[in-house]
Chains A and B, each alone.
Chain A
């Protein structure tokens, strides 16, 4: 698309040129037309940034970059310890790797979106004068919902934020700053942004569905997803990471407490008691960090990275054929294989034939490497 056509397209998608007030960057994911979704947990919002038009595709689609964190430190003018890489995503148009990065800590922390160039240079993406849109990730304000922890303010109040309700009423609301939602993962499937988050107060498992383009009138809805351990106990828990597969029809999610749970996106209706099927457990004191789906020899596979165990591969065909786990020890769920890629913390599909991984051994340097699906 030409620059002009991209600008028109972004306008159609509700993006307006300006400077997004991003306070922090967390999970990121690409949507249509080179739009990057960025979760900002400090301001409880998701930003859609128009990063197009598509540049030329690099000749080589392979990455083998050592010292990614030191490269970022060089560009951002800080020490390596002040660089915190939060997530990676690959632009489907250019196949370039983007990173969400926090530079520094505390009140001096600066959110950065960075791009890895083909020659290994890492550059920060200017966030002034970019097409963008944003939406809130807290409970959508609905005057009919008595459970909102918000205070309605007079219209002329300088405090709070303005919201437009489904019926077009404008309200100024002061949100309770104590209760927050921290986005743990997000993904875009067919016009809908799926957002998993954890509350700092109540213990729950909600998956928000936010239609894109963002539209104040269209309420985002939340699905509460439970899982059963071994046919006996049912609980909810925050979703730590998830991945759509099967063309977006199914979701594989991993909870903070490590069971891997499958559910079908098409069966999900708002305000229903959704029961996911527990297909595997990862074991104790181990938290999942990321998941990715890919195809090899016509079959679909999933990779799950965890804090302490090796990278795990699961065949999707095995998930679909798996009965929900009923016993804690035997069987242990779907067959899975350990891969010998050490220290994988984040993953993303580079293209149909390869997966890119962010790897770090302990507190050592961070590297970015791509692997052909045929080797995974």
Chain B
């Protein structure tokens, strides 16, 4: 008579999939299971996250995956990868008597926090009372769904939090999830709307604030930040005027040199939009090759050509969507007083011509 064998779980990874092998089943059981279809195998050997098993709720579907019955073992290949650190259990109903539960888990890989906040924009030290957006730039790809819990705005003097300053969802990210856009609740910025009348502006003129990103903000691998980050801003008055390139200071370079073209703005402009809203072209509209750079506090922009400027006519093309800190653009005001302000213009491209 042979010793009753102990059944056990062995975990491995093959071709990018986790494999949960059930070993030690009696030969006759393996033979019986070998002729069963996947549905029957799922019924006899269902796998659940352990915490769901403790719910003991009928009607919960076991984990999705496929089964392979071999001569030595039955293998479960989950459709979705096992979560490291989470406890799972296979319920073995093949024998007589009470089903056995075999628990298993993937070890949690030790990892060091590496992600950090690189910058917060505007990079100047002053916001306007009707500030529309802030941008947070991270050094690595981040997880979504973290901003509401791990970003706060508080008074710089007392540390008192400012309640619900930002729109909580949808979170707005760039494609790589490295730059987060924090949109101030527009209902509190738009004149005449009930949120504005009831709750007022999130910011107050003359009351400095601090934006804090705490360490708990998770990166794409689930790790916290290396360190918290904070940035203090003074708060000025309202900004309610269209962006008008005629108010910009424009310094053309000398022909034949590779000096940069320098444009100074009358006010800080939106950091993100400045990355692609300005373009230097020749007289026929073909873009010039070169390097552009946004200046300190987003108050200037320079374009250094790849080759010295040949004499000729040029244009600085401006995307009419370019906004200032309060969301006023070339095309329109953020909120327009129908009696006093002119109507939005058609969003065609504006340009400044210059000759060298």
Interface residues of A (CB under 8 A from B): 26, 41-42, 44, 67, 70-71, 73-80, 82, 84, 103-110, 119-124, 146-147, 149, 176-180, 182, 184, 198-204, 226, 228-237, 255-259, 271, 273, 281-287, 307, 328-329
Contacts and interface: CB of A to CB of B under 8 A. Distances in A.
A307 B195 CA distance: 14
Interface of B: 47-49, 51-52, 55, 57, 59-65, 78-83, 86, 88, 132-133, 141-145, 163-164, 167-176, 179, 181, 183, 185-188, 190-195, 197-199, 218-222, 270, 272-273, 275-276, 285, 317, 319, 321, 323, 327, 329, 332, 334-339, 343-344, 346-347, 349
Given A71-B59, A202-B329, A256-B167, A107 B220 contact: yes
Contacts of A202: 270, 273, 321, 323, 329
A120 to B, nearest CB: 5
A235 B343 CA distance: 11
Contact of A182 (B172, B179, B334): B172
Contacts of A120: 59
Contact of B57 (A67, A108, A283, A328): A67
A258 B142 contact: no
Nearest to A259: B193
Contacts, number: 226
A79 B86 contact: yes
Contacts of B187: 256-259, 284
A257 B192 CA distance: 12
A242 to B, nearest CB: 15
Contact of A328 (B64, B86, B197, B275): B197
Contact of A179 (B51, B174, B219, B327): B174
A79 B170 CA distance: 23
A258 B164 CA distance: 15
Given A79-B51, A107-B221, A146-B349, A178 B143 contact: no
B270 A284 contact: no
B80 A78 contact: yes
Contact of A180 (B173, B188, B344): B173
A75 B64 contact: yes
A106 B199 contact: no
Interface SS majority for chain B: loop
Contact of B174 (A104, A105, A200): A200
28 contacts: A26-B170, A73-B52, A74-B48, A74-B49, A74-B62, A75-B60, A75-B63, A75-B64, A76-B80, A78-B80, A106-B144, A109-B143, A124-B79, A178-B276, A182-B172, A200-B174, A201-B270, A203-B323, A204-B321, A233-B190, A233-B191, A234-B335, A257-B190, A257-B193, A258-B187, A273-B343, A284-B194, A328-B193
- Closest CB pairs A-B (n = 8): A257-B187, A106-B220, A177-B175, A284-B195, A106-B143, A200-B172, A107-B220, A229-B192
A237 B317 contact: no
B339 A106 contact: no
Nearest to B57: A67
A78 B49 contact: yes
A78 B83 contact: yes
Contacts of B192: 229-230, 232-233, 328
A147 B349 contact: yes
Contacts of B62: 74-75
Contact of B83 (A104, A179, A203): A104
A329 B79 CA distance: 55
A234 B194 contact: no
Residue among A235, A236, A329 with the highest chain B CB neighbour number at 10 A: A235
Residue among B195, B270, B327 with the highest chain A CB neighbour number at 10 A: B195
Contacts of B168: 287, 307
Contacts of A230: 192
Contact of B317 (A70, A146, A199): A146
Nearest to B171: A182
Contacts of B219: 106
B193 A229 contact: yes
Contacts of B167: 256, 287
Contacts of A203: 132-133, 183, 186, 323, 327, 334
A255 B82 CA distance: 40
Contacts of B173: 180, 182, 200
Nearest to B85: A79
A149 B272 CA distance: 12
Contacts of A67: 55, 57
A105 B144 contact: yes
Given A77-B80, A200-B173, A233-B335, 11 more contacts: A73-B52, A74-B49, A74-B60, A105-B145, A123-B61, A147-B347, A201-B272, A202-B323, A202-B329, A203-B186, A233-B191
